[in-house]
Structure 1
């Protein structure tokens, strides 16, 4: 029980301070759980990030769910998700209900400063990961080529392709690497349970539309639409936007103006962008809406992430034991560094650094994080205060 409270409170703090999108979230997780708390070692974390980049759904939330699973079992995974997700979900539902216009009006000052701080946080994570995961010219080259590919040909499927190519390159070119550290995760699920969760995922994908149509239930139809969006999208929150728009705007559930206003508000809150689904449920023109609709859509969108993580990790741990897979993972991890480097340029750098003042703040934050070892949450709060005062 002590572990569950610890997991919840740590992720709740991250859920209140993790601005900057999924790449920044992975950087906050790296600083908190690899560097500070030592819950997971470097290569195991990189392997986990690689797996979640390969799976459909919100990658940063899936990494958080897996970290909670590693620390406290299934209840730990749920505690991690609740802590990381609830702050932004509650803010967006409140915004949708018209109680607060804080998120939209905050599009200057402290919000822009937080985007600048995200640049430093991501740069710190990439710096630390590259030193450990790309220590030789072969893996540096793999990371560089991966960065070029995802920058010139952006999209979720390209990220998956780059990860596959990195694995093949690892098997072909990294066999001379003498040490292959691979500390196993503490996954308390058997392969039978993994098969059950994957079967449940497939069953819901095919069964929910049939049941919703047979019962003519608006709640089930809404749940099915958001479940499908969470299960079939590669590339994270920004990529799910057109799927959600096609789900709610043409059907008249949400007007296009309301949709875009909510999407703007979602950029201004911490935590995963997938919590935008809670706003859509809250402002739906048909019942269920309000709090019940928001929570229904939120759970529907994130349920596939749980099923995918619970279903794949038991097999993933076994695969990591094979020698060729361990060589492949060295290449995959180098490719992940390249993917993060590409995301560092766009959208992290391009949305955060627009003036010399922004660049100076980012450098100061980077120095504080890397050389003064300041905790990331304190740098985030300091950046918000500076932004409110001077931006």
Structure 2
């Protein structure tokens, strides 16, 4: 496999790459995985299609924001712990800053973009996810059994929409893979480079559980809003499967009844979080900046942001060393053949619901999505340029519709 450049292995280079993604990755976690695949598998060749799919499968198993965890893992494999921090910071910082500014009343990202432009950004997510599904299916579903498994996974999660259904489908696909597929040899060079030792991984996982059990005790012993906030947001990041939308009711239950944030501000911030690029978990920064009492503003926003993402870092750093060991075995390779087909099915289901259903409302939307797909797949234009063009085109279509 080709490698991009030596400079790509510095934390600063990792930060700049993820910063560009953090500024342009609209469309939610499934679209983010599509952007990552295009950037790191197709363009930079940091890892193979199979390694990327294995990494996505691992992050689907872990609680927390899957796309952010994939980004942390990519940064960790490229430049160690500093690379993981650089990847998270670059991908998260733009939306976190925008939402903190919104909470402070200095700027409003949600109201600052015309509705037509926002709709254009939703439409381009259709093209991004479709490109990812097509590319991954071509590599990971090369025969009839795996295509069938992909289709079955997509149908099940569409008929029974739930984060637990997704986990159940992946587990069932692993069993099917063990029964049906018999790889002749484990991969040699096709692996994700991980500098974390198994001993260090065990320490990170231990710290994850110690904080999960210990923070509620600490909050009871040391009453104060700062400790309570860390406890509430750490728990939200540690116990939620399915990404940002699933964490909404848990955060609402933590901050609204307690009087930390009023319900109107909560809903306004959640709406604005849909309009910014990057991970939806940065909604925590808005909530922290909107708090009554102290900490609030920038300090509250940063505290809540760090608390909700900390479990993801601990889980990724803790799980990757063991994951790399497991995925080298023949039995795990057989299971992963089934899991990867199911992961493509999950992406295919997400392409329809919510990506397609929330973006495509007529012939104009379909045409714009088709143009974006051709630009990405055949003209090989940079994703950020296609995103910007789709936003402008959505704005133009909106103006034309209001004029005529």
The alignment's TM-score, normalised by the length of structure 2, stands at 0.95
Q: Does 1:30 align with 2:29?
A: no
Equivalent of 1:188 in 186, 195, 198: 195
Question: Secondary structure, in 3 states, of the residue corresponding to 2:115?
Answer: coil
* Match status 1:273 vs 2:280: yes
Deviates more, 1:122-131 or 1:376-385: 376-385
Report the CA distance between 1:217 and its aligned residue.
2.1
Corresponding residue to 2:96 among 89, 92, 110: 89
2:121 aligns to what?
A: 114
Q: 1:43, 1:181 within 8 Å by CA — same for their partners in 2?
A: no
CA RMSD of aligned residues (A): 1.2
Cα separation, 1, equivalents of 2:215 and 2:187: 42
Equivalent residue for 1:163? Answer: 170
Distance 1:188 1:102 in 2: 39
Tell me how far 1:388 sits from its aligned partner. 2.5
What CA distance in whole angstroms lies between the structure 2 residues aligned with 1:127 and 1:195?
37
Answer yes or no: is 1:19 the counterpart of 2:5.
no
SS at match of 1:350: helix
**Could you tell me which residue of structure 2 aligns to residue 351 of structure 1?**
358
Cα-to-partner distance string for 1:34-66 (whole Å, 9 max, x where unaligned): 000001111000000000011100000000000
**Corresponding residue for residue 56 of structure 1:** 63
Q: Which of 257, 262, 273 lines up with 1:250 in the alignment?
A: 257
Larger CA deviation: 18-27 vs 183-192: 183-192
Q: Residue 178 of structure 1: CA displacement?
A: 5.4
Displacement of 1:382 in angstroms is 1.1
Q: Deviations over 1:94-129 (max 9, x none)?
A: 000011123135361111001000000100000000
Q: Choose from 289, 292, 311 the match for 2:318.
A: 311
Residue 79 of structure 2, aligned match among 57, 72, 81: 72
Q: CA deviation at 1:185?
A: 1.2
Aligned length: 390
Any unmatched runs of 5+ in structure 2?
1-5, 399-404
Matches of 1:122 and 1:7, distance apart in 2: 23
Partner of 2:394: 387
Judge conservation of contact 1:53–1:160 (CA < 8 Å) in 2. yes
| Alpha-carbon displacement from aligned partner over 1:327-355 (angstroms, at most 9, x marks no partner) | 00010000000011111111100111011
User: Where does residue 372 of structure 2 map in the other structure?
Assistant: 365
Counterpart of 1:109 in 2: which secondary structure?
A: helix
Could you tell me how far apart the structure 1 residues matched to 2:83 and 2:106 are?
32
Map 1:80-159 → 2, pairs under 5 A: 80-106=87-113, 108-159=115-166
8 Å contact from structure 1 (residues 146, 339) kept in 2: yes
Give the Cα–Cα distance (whole angstroms) in 1 for the partners of residues 56 and 111 of structure 2: 31
Greater CA drift, 346-355 or 101-110: 101-110
Further displaced range: 159-168 or 14-23: 159-168
Verify the 8 A CA contact 2:60 2:167 in the aligned structure 1: yes
1:201 maps onto 2:240 in alignment = no
Displacement of 1:180 in angstroms is 5.9
Q: Give the structure 2 partner of residue 215 of structure 1.
A: 222
- TM-score, length of structure 1 as denominator length: 0.98
The residue number in structure 2 matching 1:230 is 237
Counterpart contact for 2:114–2:395, Cα < 8 Å: no
Change (3 A) 1:181 1:362: farther
Contact in 2 for aligned 1:50/1:333 (Cα 8 Å): yes
**Aligned 8 A contact 2:187 2:328 in 1:** no
Give 1:387 shift: 2.0
Pick one of 302, 309, 317 that aligns with 1:302.
309
- Equivalent-residue separation in structure 2 for 1:339 and 1:366 (angstroms): 20
| Unaligned runs of at least 5 residues, structure 1 | none
Query: How big is the shift at 1:378?
Result: 1.2
Residue in 1 aligned with 2:48?
41
Distance in 2 (CA, whole Å) between partners of 1:205 and 1:342 is 32
